[in-house]
Amino acid sequence: MLKISVVIPSYNRRELLLECLASVAQQSYKPHEVIVVDDGSTDGTIEVLQERGDLHLIVQENAGPGAARNTGAKHASGDYIAFLDSDDVWFPWSLETMAKMVERDSPTLVFGAYEDFDAAVPALEKSEAADAKFLDYLASADHGYFAGAGMILVDRDVFSAVGGFIEDRLNAEDHDLALKLGVSRGFVKVLSPVTVAHRVHQGNAMGDAIANWDGVRRLISREQNGVYDGGVERRMARRKIICGHARSATISLAQSGKFATSIGAFFRTFIWNIRLGRVKFVLSFPALLGYYVVKALLGGSGFSKTAAQSIG
C-alpha cells in the first residue's frame, strides 16, 4: 500500500486547523502519518494539538509557510507527501482519488482539483474520477493548470532532491516548486472529483495582488537566471507557464487599483508574450486597464471577474 504523509503548516489558525484535521480524519484512504508544523502560533494551537495522539506536532519559530512545509517534509517517512493548508478542507475521497492515480502511473507530481468557498464547505457529491496525464509538468504548458501549495501530492525523494519550497515570504512558492519539478517524470492533473475545498478569506495570501505579483516577478527572474531545468529545448514551455501566472497577476493588480504596478507587470513579460503569440492579451490589456482607471475615477465597481478572465 502506498504510504502518503500529510503535511499541514499552520500559523494562528486554531479553529480552521481543527476543521482541516477533521477532514483528514474522514479520509477513505488513510494517510501513513499526519504532520502539523506550527509556525510560531500564539492562539493556543499548540496547547490544543498537544492533547492529540493522531498526529505528529512540530513547533518552530515563525519562518513562513514554505519553511514550515519543508520542515514537515524533512520529518515525513511516506513515499509521497500530500500538502494541505490549514484553512482548507479535504473531501472524504480526496486522498483516495490521488493515491489511485499514483498507484496507476507513479507520477512525480499530482495537482488536485479545487473549489473556492468563503462560508460553508460546499456540499459536493463524489463524481467519476478523471484526470489528464503528461510526460512531465512542462508538457502541460498549453493547459494552464494551477494548484496552490496545499493542493499537491509529490514524490518525497524528488521533492527533497530539488530543495523543496523556496523559503522566503513571497507568494508563488507553489509555482516555483512546480517549475523546479518541471522535467521530473510524470505529471497528473486531477480533473474530477474536486479534492480540495479552498477557503477564500481575508487572511489568505492568494488575495493580495501586490504579494502575488512579487512572487511571480521572482519566477521571471529565476527563469532568466537559468534556475529551472529543461534547457533551451523546454524554454518556451516554461515561459508559457510563467506568462500565464503573470497575466493573472497583472489583471489582479489592475482590478485592485494598482495601476502603475500593473503597467510594469504588463511590460515585464511583454516580449515573452509576443514570442508566444499571446496577441489577444497584448492588444486587450491596455483597454482593460483604461476601463479600470475610468471606473476608479468614477467610483464604479470595476470590470467583472469573468470578463477579465476571458482576456487570454
Looking at residue 203, its pLDDT comes to 54
Q: Is the dihedral of CA 81, 83, 86, 90 positive or negative?
A: negative
Spatial contact of 109 and 154, defined as CB atoms under 8 Å apart: yes
Give the other-Cβ count within 10 Å of 172's Cβ: 26
Q: How far apart are CA 157 and CA 179, in angstroms?
A: 16
- Is a pLDDT exceeding 90 seen at residue 105? yes
Confidence tier at 5 by pLDDT (50, 70, 90) = very high
- Encoded amino acid at 136, one letter: D
Confidence (pLDDT) at 174: 96
Among 219, 221, 69, 212, smallest CA distance to 154 is for 69
* Amino acid residing at 208: D
Q: Of the CATH numbers 3.40.50.2300, 3.90.550.10, 1.10.8.640, 3.40.50.620, which one belongs to the domain with range 4-205? A: 3.90.550.10
pLDDT tens-digit profile of 258-293? Answer: 999 999 999 999 999 999 999 999 999 999 999 999
Q: Where are the domains of the chain?
A: 4-205, 208-309
The amino acid that residue 39 corresponds to is D
- Rounded to an integer, the average pLDDT of 17-29 is 98
Q: What is the dihedral sign for C-alpha 257, 173, 242, 80?
A: negative
> 55-94: per-residue pLDDT in tens?
999 999 999 999 999 999 999 999 999 999 999 999 999 9
Q: How confident is the model at residue 118 (pLDDT cuts 50, 70, 90)?
A: confident
Per-residue pLDDT tens over the stretch 157-190 = 999 999 999 998 889 999 999 999 999 999 999 9
pLDDT at 147: 87
Expressed in angstroms, the distance from the first to the final Cα of the chain is: 43
Q: Which of 154-163, 182-191, 195-204, 298-307 has the lowest mean pLDDT?
A: 298-307
Rounded CA-CA distance 36/49 in Å is: 9
